[in-house]
Amino acid sequence: MLAGKLPWPARSWRPLAVAAAATALAAPVTAASASTAASASTAAVAATAASASAGAHASLRRVSYRGYSFLVPRSWHVVDLRKSGRTCVRFDRHVIYLGNPSSNQSCPSLLIGTTESVLIQPAAPKARLSAVENAVARQVTVTIPRVRVTATFDFNPAQIYRILASASLPAPVIRVPHPAAAGQAAARPITRAARAGTARAAAPVLPAQVANYHGLGFDACTAPSAAYMKAWRAHSPYQAIGVYIGGSDKACAQPNLTPAWLRREAAAGWHFLPLYVGPQAEFGELSAPARQGRSAASDAVMQAERLGFGARTPIYYDMEAFAPSLTGPTLRFLSAWTTRLHTLGYSSGVYSSSSSGIAVLAQQYSGHKYAMPDVIYDALWNGKQNTSDSVFMAGQWANHQRVHQFAGNVVQTFGGDTINIDKDFLNVNLPVPGGTSQASPAVIQNNGVIDVFYRGSGSKLWYVRFAPGSGWAAPVALADSVESAPSAVNRGPGLVDVFYQGPHGNLWQVARRSGGKWSPPRRLKMMGVLGGAPSAVAQANGVIDIFWKGSADMHLWHGEFSPASGWTGPQRLGGSLDSSPSPVESTPGTVEVFWKGTDSSLWHVIHRLGGAWSAPRSLGMGPLGGPPQATAAPSGAAEVFWQGSGNSQLWSASFTPGQGWHGPRDLGGKLSSVPTPVTSTTGPIRIFFRGLDGHLWQTAGNPASGWHRPVRQTVGTVGGAPFVAIGYRKTSIGVFWKSGSGNNQLWSASLKGSTWTKRRAVGSDVA
pLDDT tens for residues 407-463?
999 999 999 999 999 999 999 999 888 889 999 999 988 888 899 999 998 899 999
CB 630 within 8 A of CB 640: yes
Whether 7 shows a pLDDT value over 50: the answer reads no
Q: Side-chain half-sphere of 479: how many Cα atoms within 13 Å?
A: 27
Cα angle value 328/329/330 (rounded, 5°):
90
pLDDT of the residue at 84: 86
Whether 571 shows a pLDDT value over 80: the answer reads yes
Domains and CATH numbers, the chain: 29-175 (no CATH), 182-428 (3.20.20.80), 442-763 (2.120.10.70)
pLDDT of the residue at 11: 31
Q: Kindly report whether the peptide bond that precedes residue 664 is cis, defined as omega within 30 degrees of 0.
A: yes
More confident residue, 595 or 22: 595
Alpha-carbon distance of 436 to 492, in angstroms, equals 10
The total of other beta-carbon atoms located within 10 Å of residue 74's CB is 11
Percent pLDDT > 70 in the chain is: 88
Whether 312 shows a pLDDT value over 50: the answer reads yes
Confidence of residue 730 (pLDDT cuts 50, 70, 90): low
More confident residue, 195 or 596: 596
Whether 47 shows a pLDDT value over 60: the answer reads no
**Mean predicted confidence (pLDDT) in 284-306:** 97
Cβ burial, residue 272 (10 Å; 0-12/13-18/19+): buried
Confidence of residue 36 (pLDDT cuts 50, 70, 90): very low
Q: Phi and psi dihedrals of 748, rounded to 5?
A: -150, 150
Q: Please report, as a single letter, which amino acid is at residue 377.
A: Y
Q: Strands of 590-596's sheet, edge to edge?
A: 582-587, 590-596, 602-607, 617-620
Residue range 351-403, pLDDT digits in tens: 999 999 999 999 999 998 999 999 999 999 999 999 999 999 999 999 999 99
Percent pLDDT > 90 in the chain is: 70
Whether 273 shows a pLDDT value over 50: the answer reads yes
Q: What is the mean pLDDT of the chain?
A: 87
> For the chain, what is the radius of gyration of the CA atoms?
29
pLDDT of the residue at 443: 93
CB 154 within 8 A of CB 34: no
Confidence of residue 194 (pLDDT cuts 50, 70, 90): very low
Confidence of residue 609 (pLDDT cuts 50, 70, 90): confident
Name the pairing type of β-strands 213-219 and 240-246: parallel
Q: How far is CA 204 from the centre of its chain?
A: 11
**Mean predicted confidence (pLDDT) in 694-707:** 88
Please, which residues have CB within 8 angstroms of residue 405's CB and are 6 or more apart in sequence?
A: 1, 3, 4, 219, 351, 377, 378, 379, 380, 381, 422, 423, 424
Confidence of residue 682 (pLDDT cuts 50, 70, 90): low
**Mean predicted confidence (pLDDT) in 509-518:** 88
Cα 441 to Cα 186, 497, 501, 534, 767: the distances in Å are: 22, 11, 13, 11, 14
Alpha-carbon distance of 12 to 113, in angstroms, equals 10
Of 362, 344, 343, 366, the closest CA to residue 353 belongs to: 362
Whether 593 shows a pLDDT value over 50: the answer reads yes
Q: How far is CA 337 from the centre of its chain?
A: 19
CB 69 within 8 A of CB 166: yes
Q: What is the DSSP annotation of 670-726?
A: -BSS--EEEE-SSS-EEEEEEBTTSEEEEEEEETTTEEPPPEEEEEEEBSS--EEEE
Whether 195 shows a pLDDT value over 70: the answer reads no
Whether 693 shows a pLDDT value over 60: the answer reads yes
Of 190, 272, 631, 613, the closest CA to residue 436 belongs to: 631
CB 62 within 8 A of CB 44: no
Of 636, 446, 434, 442, the closest CA to residue 543 belongs to: 434
Whether 475 shows a pLDDT value over 50: the answer reads yes
pLDDT of the residue at 504: 92
pLDDT of the residue at 181: 56
Expressed in angstroms, the distance from the first to the final Cα of the chain is 61
pLDDT of the residue at 720: 80
pLDDT of the residue at 57: 62
CB 224 within 8 A of CB 272: no
Alpha-carbon distance of 693 to 683, in angstroms, equals 28
More confident residue, 199 or 171: 171
Alpha-carbon distance of 619 to 599, in angstroms, equals 11
pLDDT of the residue at 276: 98
Listed range (52-66, 242-256, 494-508, 743-757) with the worst mean pLDDT: 52-66
pLDDT of the residue at 646: 85
Beta bridge partners of residue 678, listed in sequence order: 686
For 148, the enclosing helix (H) or strand (E) is: strand 147-152
